[in-house]
Structure formats: C-alpha cells, structure tokens
Structure 1
Amino acid sequence: MPKIKIFADSTCDLPSDWIHKYDIDIIPLYVVFGDESLRDGIDITPTQLYQRVSETGNLPKTAAPSPTDFLTAFTPYIDQGDQILYICLSSELSSTYQNACIAVEELPEGSIAIFDSLNLSSGIGLLIMKAVHAAQAGRTLDEIVNLLHAVRPTIESEFVIDTLEYLHKGGRCSGMQNFIGSLLKIRPIIKVSNGLMIPANRVRGKREKAVEQLLLNVLEKKEQIDTDLIFVAHSLAEKDALVLQTSLQQQTGATVALATAGCVISSHCGPHTIGIMYSKNIL
C-alpha cells in the first residue's frame, strides 16, 4: 500500500514539534505588506507582524498559495509513489482550497485527496491529528477521507477577540461597529459555522469576563466532548491559554494542548485573541 503523506497549510497552527514528530508538510500562506509577500511562519512571525502594524498603522493583506506552490510541494512525493492528503483552510475564507484543486488537475488521478476543513486554526489541527492517527493505524486514503467527513461536522471552534480593530481593518466589521465596540468595551466571541466566522456571544466589560464565557460555552457541552484532544489556541495570550488549559484538563479529563496562532490568523483576529477547539464524540 502506498505511503500516505499528510499536508496542511500554515493556518492549521499545529505546534512545531508535532509537525516534525508526525512528518507533516506545511504549505505557507502569504502575508502581504505593499509589494512585499512574506511566507507565514517562514519569513515573518506574529510578533514581527504586530510590530510592523504598530509602526505603520497598516494591516497586511493575506494571500493563498498559488497552484504552482502546491505543484512544487506535491510533485516530489507523487514521483516517489506516495499518496497525498491535504487538509486545508476553509474554502469559505480563502481561495487556498480552490488553488489546491487546480494544482491536482495536473497530477495523476487518485494520487491526492484535498479535504476542505471548513475551519481554521486548531480546528484544522484536530482534523489533521485524526488523519495522522488513522494513517498510522494503516487506514487507506479513502478510509481516512471518510473519517474526516464524519468528524468535520463535530468540530467546535470558538475564540475571543480582544479588539475589533483588526477585524475592522480587514473589512470584517464596519467603522461604526468598531467605534461602538471600542466605546462600550464589547469583546465578541466568534465561532466557526459551516466554514464561516459568525458571532456567538458579545460580552461587555473586562477581558476576563469574555474568557470566562468562552470556557463556559465549552463546559456546557462537556459530556459530548471527545477527550482525545482539545486545543487552546492563542495569539500573544499565553497566560490566559495556560489558565484555560488547566481548567479544561481538570473539568473534562481531556488531553489539552496549546497552539500559537500564525501570522495569517493573527492578522485577521489581532493580538490577545484566544480560542478553544474540540470535536464532539461521533454517535
């Protein structure tokens, strides 16, 4: 049986040591400042990104990998007889999925499966780890894809946005929403639904209150949680992430891992964003 090589893109926010341990190849998206295109996680880090935004007052654009990027990454593995499974950022948020599909048209039929996560950040990471363990167990490519189709609807991703400024600059909320939100100190809790980001709660007051609500949203469903793995993902919010990690471990008995958001996720959500991602048990 051919070896199954698993690919992801830089928005999956898997811990770097996991990427190396499980031999996952990462295709970077791009962060674009003016005429300068920087590969997420290779040419620029989130700290550097925030520094440039602070200095210039301008938010970068983000761009998907090109079909050529995918062909360059995939071809060596296809040439050596491997099969490829690529789990990507939601097609509702990026053209990454579409560009990967264009690349696949140039490669042998049946050698690559492109799976649309309909998610972002560690919501993608959960699917990747399901695929990794299934591949280690000897499952075929078709079997793994079928498993991912079953798991995908069970993924829950929610995160607290500390400031609306980045959503505003990125065109995801209006100037008036940004002004009112800042004036009233409203911190939205965003969830992923059918591949899109939608409001889950709007919490007025201190950041701690919003983070507490995020935790409560998860614990309300704790009997349904797949305790194999929960992710707490953050962008420059490690202190809060550690607190949530401890609380979730104590109250669910789950394995809880920390993940740091990359530049593309950070450029849309902003600093001090924190989220919890988990899957529910499949009935």
Structure 2
Amino acid sequence: MSKIAILTDTSATMPKSLMAQHNIHTVPHNIQWGEDSYLDSVNLQTSDFYERLAKDPVIPTTAQITMPTFMEAYEKLAVDHDAILVILISSGISGTIQGAQSAAAEFDKVPVEIIDSESTTGGLALVTLAAAEAVENGATLEEAAAVARKVAENLHVYFVVDTLKYLHRGGRIGGASRYLGTMLSIKPILTMAHKIDAVDRARGKKKAMKQLVSIVADKVQGQSVRAAIFHANVPETAVSVLNLCKEAMQIEQDITLELSPVIGTHVGAGTVGIACYPISCLD
C-alpha cells in the first residue's frame, strides 16, 4: 500500500497536535509587518500576533506561498512518501495554488495531486482532515482526492467580523460591502465559497452570533454535520457559538480553531465563524 502525504497551508489554522495525529504537513504563508518578515505560525505565533495587532498602528500584509517553497516541501515529503495530496486555500482569495501547480509541473519524483478547497480556515481544515482520514483508512491518492473534492463541494462557511476594514484593505471583499459594517454596532455576516461575500448583518454581537447559527442551520436542513468553529482571539465567544450550534444542529463531530496570523491579518480580532458539511455527502 502506498504512503500518501497530506500537505496544506497554514491558513487551515489547525493545531500542531491535530496535524501530528493525522500526519498532516503544512507550508507557511509569508507575513510582512512593517520592517519585519515572518512565516505564519513558524516565527510568528498566534498569541503574539493578536497582542501586537491590538497595539501596533501598522497593519501587516501577507504574500502567497511561492513555487520554491512548494518545491522544497515536495522534495522533503517524497523521501518517505509515494504520493502527495496538496489541499490549499481558495484560489478566489489567494494565488497560492499557482505556486503549488508550478512546482508540481516540474516535480517528477512522486505523483502530486492539488485540490482547491474553495475555502480557508475551518473549511480548509475540514477538507484536509477528511482526506487525511481517508488515507488512514487505506484510500488511494485518487480516492483521497475525491473525498477532498466532495467535502469542498458541500461546505458551508459563514462568519462574523467586528469590522470589514481588514478585508476591505486586503482586497478580499468588494468596496460596496464595506459599508455594511460602518453603522454603530452593526456586525456583518459573511460567507466563504470560493470568494468572500456579505450575506447579512445584525445589530450587536449577540444577535449576530444567533443569526450566524440560524443561517447555517437553515443551510444544513437537519442533516448530521461535521463542524469547525473558528475564532480570532475570542475563545469564549467560540464556545458560545458551538453551544448554539449544538442546540440548532445535529453535530456529530466538532473542532475549534484559533485563526492563525495569516487569516487574522485579513479579518481582525473578534471574528467568529462556522464551517461544516453534511456527513452524508461521503456516503
């Protein structure tokens, strides 16, 4: 039986323990903060990032992962794997997949399959975990890739941000949608399906969280789901949202993720979201 490596990027925001458990490997995004250059979750950790973000008037920027970085990762993984399945942040919000594809085109030591998750953070984590578990259960490269695509096609990803200024500044959302969040206490509710779009708004954080859960529950229509709750430095809010989800939906499995610096740069502290997919999509 072939040994398949699962490779994703750090926007999946999975804790190291979870990645180690499922033999998931990552490549880090690049972050520029003033004169300082960092690798996401390598020499810029989540706790340090949010502490500095709250104080520093300079807003960091990010850059896509380059072809040489992917080539280096492929070389390392090929030493003790027979194939590599790469699952990445949506091409609708990042050009990272282009670097992966360019590297794969020149790499001939083992087969490399690349999947566009059409998502990021919790959505990307769920797609990656499903593929990793398929590999653990004996799936071939093609079978694991099919699982990843099926989960990506059935994802529901919605989130609430405190402000749209980070998304707007980074070009991740249209200019008109910026004004959804300019009124006092209005919290924008957004979706991630290839790209980011505004879908609703609510006055105040508590109402926004209830509306967020209501939207997702309506989408899954009573189906049993696997869910990821993700947050930017607001763990208590994430717990509250998970509890609301458990009241409104049939959640068979759940994980909670704290957004790494590369995502926190674009959404800001206070963001909370839900990613999920119906388990039946893999039947």
Fold-level match, TM-score > 0.5? yes
Are the structure 2 counterparts of residues 224 and 127 from structure 1 closer, same or farther at C-alpha, using a change threshold of 3 Å?
farther
1:246 aligns with 2:247: no
- SS of the residue corresponding to residue 254 of structure 1 reads strand
- SS of the residue corresponding to residue 17 of structure 1 reads helix
Q: Partners in 2 of 1:77 and 1:173 — Cα distance?
A: 35
The Cα RMSD (Å) is 2.2
Are the structure 2 counterparts of residues 172 and 85 from structure 1 closer, same or farther at C-alpha, using a change threshold of 3 Å?
closer
- SS of the residue corresponding to residue 183 of structure 2 reads helix
1:20 corresponds to which residue?
A: 20
Amino acid across the alignment from 2:15: P
Q: Partners in 2 of 1:197 and 1:179 — Cα distance?
A: 15
| Structure 2 contact 173–197 (Cα < 8 Å) conserved | no
2:196 corresponds to which residue?
A: 197
Q: Say which is worse superposed, 210-219 or 107-116, in terms of deviation.
A: 107-116
Q: Partners in 1 of 2:242 and 2:232 — Cα distance?
A: 15
2:230 corresponds to which residue?
A: 233
2:149 corresponds to which residue?
A: 149
Task: Give the Å deviation of 1:178.
Answer: 5.2
Are the structure 2 counterparts of residues 180 and 212 from structure 1 closer, same or farther at C-alpha, using a change threshold of 3 Å?
closer
| Structure 1 contact 27–73 (Cα < 8 Å) conserved | yes
Q: Which digits, 9 at most, give the CA deviation of each residue in 1:6-62, with x for residues without a partner? A: 111100112321111111111110111234320111111233333434443121110
Q: Say which is worse superposed, 39-48 or 98-107, in terms of deviation.
A: 39-48
Q: Say which is worse superposed, 167-176 or 205-214, in terms of deviation.
A: 167-176
2:71 corresponds to which residue?
A: 71
1:273 corresponds to which residue?
A: 271
Q: Partners in 1 of 2:232 and 2:214 — Cα distance?
A: 21
Using structure 2 for the length normalisation, give the TM-score: 0.91
Q: Partners in 2 of 1:56 and 1:257 — Cα distance?
A: 31
2:259 corresponds to which residue?
A: 261
Are the structure 2 counterparts of residues 173 and 24 from structure 1 closer, same or farther at C-alpha, using a change threshold of 3 Å?
closer
| Structure 2 contact 229–272 (Cα < 8 Å) conserved | yes
Q: Partners in 2 of 1:175 and 1:253 — Cα distance?
A: 35
Task: Give the Å deviation of 1:224.
Answer: 4.8
| Structure 2 contact 82–110 (Cα < 8 Å) conserved | no
- SS of the residue corresponding to residue 256 of structure 2 reads strand
Residue segments in structure 2 that go unaligned for 5+ positions in a row: none
- SS of the residue corresponding to residue 272 of structure 2 reads strand
> Once the two structures are aligned, what percentage of the paired residues are identical?
27
2:113 corresponds to which residue?
A: 113
2:205 corresponds to which residue?
A: 207
| Structure 1 contact 30–38 (Cα < 8 Å) conserved | yes
Equivalenced residue count is 280
1:5 corresponds to which residue?
A: 5
Q: Say which is worse superposed, 42-51 or 110-119, in terms of deviation.
A: 42-51
Amino acid across the alignment from 2:161: I
| Structure 1 contact 67–102 (Cα < 8 Å) conserved | yes
Task: Give the Å deviation of 1:217.
Answer: 1.1
Task: Give the Å deviation of 1:84.
Answer: 0.5
Task: Give the Å deviation of 1:220.
Answer: 2.0
Amino acid across the alignment from 1:170: G
Are the structure 2 counterparts of residues 111 and 246 from structure 1 closer, same or farther at C-alpha, using a change threshold of 3 Å?
same
1:34 corresponds to which residue?
A: 34
Amino acid across the alignment from 1:233: F
1:185 corresponds to which residue?
A: 185
Residue segments in structure 1 that go unaligned for 5+ positions in a row: none
- SS of the residue corresponding to residue 57 of structure 1 reads coil
Amino acid across the alignment from 1:201: D
| Structure 1 contact 232–256 (Cα < 8 Å) conserved | yes
